[in-house]
Structure 1
């Protein structure tokens, strides 16, 4: 960052930073920090102590209170950010979304991974970690775990389901082997990750597109770029793409 944009804009220490893209590294957004252990009772320790004197109970209460003020429900650990296993209805909604790309369904047992939700956000993480998090105390908030793959949403009337699910581009790693594929030219790929719809002249081929007309969009190199909807075989409508991170 520093050499490219000029040292006057950033502190020199930023030369030690690295940028991680969630859609490439298969993670949710995160921040890495270096911790320095300070001897208890020292002057530096007093300078760096939290304002509430390190009262973790107050910290948790403040988090839950803030969530309630924003109108979130304080039940089943939702306000405190507790990691919960998906209910049968919620899991069915997630799996129904993946059937657009895997007609036979997504087999998570082969991956030794489990779906969890934190509030309305759905994550995929190793089973061992999932079991540990579900057993966490209700008042211990969890912000994120594993890979964020989408959000539980209010259902559409036409779906007949009690809950819906919106897949995130961070879940593209699960769609690498999708049977519903739309392959674009280099020009089309560049336009797609800038949020544009694609004309037929930049469509190399389509495979396994079902009745929903939705498929995973790939570059000719086999890199998943996002999710698109094929309209009359002439236009690929951009539903989601990895360029969202840059644009936002």
Structure 2
């Protein structure tokens, strides 16, 4: 797929990786439909992309809400006339141990709301947006590309029962969709980032940040632009489908 002049939707585009992806694709000439629940951040990303010369519009969408997702994608097609690609990036973290035990007694536990909020956004949100995008791609008969964002934590990570489960589900859906949708000219792949230099990571205490870096054989954090470049690669390489690309500097959990 050629990125220039293609309509590409990105969820979670108001900050972090979503913004980095948007700006990278704006520089490559994409037409961008950017979605987020953070109106201020979304507006900033849209403005940055427009400054780079791209056509960009923002859509306030809670990816966990079926009605908002369906309405958002309908508006995208009305505004842009079609959809060639989706980057399913929106996600949240609500970390915590399954059980906190002190002196042989359970002092606390992961709440249902901690579990459900992450599953709703990270897994159900990917499902809803992927389904909506695939529907449009099939109906137009033009095919397209869906890129899901999983995580190194999909293999399981202490303190992330909810997050790890959601990202493992994203990886499984990626393979399933690739097999189901290939006949309609739709490719589906995923990226599993490792430890990436985001605003949240930059605010960590130096000793915690140092411990993260020590887990990476390359001895550094990944940069947001490196994840954006991987999105670019997947979009343009028409033989990539059904795979989860680990972009983690050699780290393994």
Same fold (TM over 0.5): no
Greater strand percent: which structure? 1
Measured against the shorter chain, the TM-score band is under 0.3
Which structure is higher in helix share?
2
- Relative contact order higher in (CA < 8 Å, ≥ 6 apart): 2
Q: Which has the larger radius of gyration?
A: 1
